[in-house]
């Protein structure tokens, strides 16, 4: 057990947000020095629409490294890709504290952070220093007090485009009032129209920057159908990340924090987010890349996402309870499942 593993266990005695800040600082100062290892080649995947080549399908979801401070250490822990952000054009403090809660009995987290971040300037300076390290995504959002949120997304896309492997348009956080309204058909058409114009312009200068749209799990069948119809018309769009946190509160929750306002993530989100993934997958029919997120804590969970239509996955909340070393366990479990099934790669395993 490393010093960082020991520290990770002790830091969970701190309030959730203090623990997160401690972890970021520990990673920045070198308390954690992960030893890179070679991934089993059977775990390698290539996302067909975007062309992203991943040594393994396990990504770090946005929200952990909001300000692009610890990209290198997180890649060092063995993630196949790392997504930093959400970043907004201007710095913002986010919502009042407390705003991050562990639901330990439920292996879950509730957050109402509110896109707290240092703004696009520091983010881009750090991001630009990571070129060549690995597959790195930049997740962009809008300021809470913005007069024109679509302009914020366009500004974010322009700023990060030259410095990342791919971009994510985050319109699915429940913690910025009105943001999820951008998932409505008319608003989504306007947003993607503007971002698409910008993407096509930027692609003439810096090519091969896939763009993903991150959506919520709290969508009914009509909303999912509308989103699928709109995104399939955007030939420049590479894929979807399904999904963000949920505002639902399952009756099974046990923690005293279960009534807190915000987005619920972790184990209770697995079923709901996977259902949303399967629903959107049936409509886009392989024409877009799909990244599955929400509730992943085991190799079997990853296979469930792959069978629902994902080519890759992301996690964050499980790391709250196990630390970043969880990715090593998950990759080992995937290899075990490959061996047990006789599959030679993850695509075959998903069909087994």
Residue 344 annotated as catalytic: no
CA–CA dist 267, 246 (Å, integer): 12
CA–CA dist 72, 212 (Å, integer): 22
Find, among 244, 83, 54, 89, the residue nearest to 167 by Cα.
Answer: 83
Q: Which of 173, 238, 265, 273 is catalytic?
A: 173
- Torsion angle of alpha carbons 335, 340, 343, 349, nearest 10°? -80
Q: What angle do CA 182, 188, 191 make, to 5 degrees?
A: 90
Handedness of CA 100, 10, 26, 4 (dihedral sign): negative
**Helices and strands (H, E) in the chain, number of each type:** 12, 13
CA–CA dist 109, 260 (Å, integer): 10
Instruction: Extract the runs of DSSP E, i.e. beta strands, from 125-238.
Output: 136-140, 166-170, 211-215
CA–CA dist 198, 203 (Å, integer): 8
Widest pairwise Cα distance in the chain:
55
CB atoms within 10 A of CB 236: 14
CA–CA dist 266, 279 (Å, integer): 20
CB atoms within 10 A of CB 304: 21
Catalytic residues: 173
């Amino acid at each position: 057990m490393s010093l960082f593993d020991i520290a990770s266990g002790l830091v969970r005695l701190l309030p959730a947000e203090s623990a997160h800040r401690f972890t970021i600082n520990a990673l920045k100062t070198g308390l954690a020095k992960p030893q890179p290892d070679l991934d089993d080649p059977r775990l390698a995947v290539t996302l067909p629409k975007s062309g992203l080549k991943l040594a393994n399908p396990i990504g770090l979801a946005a929200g952990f490294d909001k300000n692009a401070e610890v990209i290198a250490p997180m890649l060092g822990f063995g993630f196949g890709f790392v997504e930093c952000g959400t970043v907004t054009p201007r710095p913002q403090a986010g919502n009042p504290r407390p705003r991050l809660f562990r639901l330990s009995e439920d292996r879950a987290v509730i957050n109402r952070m509110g896109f707290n971040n240092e703004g696009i300037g520091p983010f881009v300076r750090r991001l630009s220093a990571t070129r060549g390290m690995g597959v790195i995504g930049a997740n962009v959002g809008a300021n809470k007090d913005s007069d024109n949120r679509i302009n914020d997304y366009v500004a974010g896309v322009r700023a990060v485009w030259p410095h990342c492997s791919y971009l994510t348009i985050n319109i699915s956080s429940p913690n910025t009032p009105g943001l999820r309204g951008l998932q409505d058909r008319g608003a989504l058409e306007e947003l993607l129209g503007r971002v698409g114009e910008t993407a096509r312009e930027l692609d003439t200068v810096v090519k091969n920057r896939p763009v993903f749209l991150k959506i919520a799990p709290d969508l009914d069948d009509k909303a999912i159908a509308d989103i699928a119809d709109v995104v399939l018309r955007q030939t420049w769009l590479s894929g979807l990340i399904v999904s963000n946190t949920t505002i639902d509160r399952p009756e099974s929750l046990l923690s005293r924090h279960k009534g807190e306002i915000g987005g619920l993530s972790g184990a209770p989100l697995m079923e709901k987010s996977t259902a949303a993934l399967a629903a959107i997958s049936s409509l886009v029919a392989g024409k877009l890349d799909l990244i599955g997120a929400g509730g992943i804590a085991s190799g079997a969970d990853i296979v469930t996402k792959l069978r629902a239509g994902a080519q890759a996955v992301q996690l964050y909340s499980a790391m709250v309870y196990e630390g970043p070393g969880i990715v090593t366990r998950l990759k080992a479990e995937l290899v075990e499942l490959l061996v047990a099934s006789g599959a030679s790669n993850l695509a075959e395993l998903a069909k087994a």
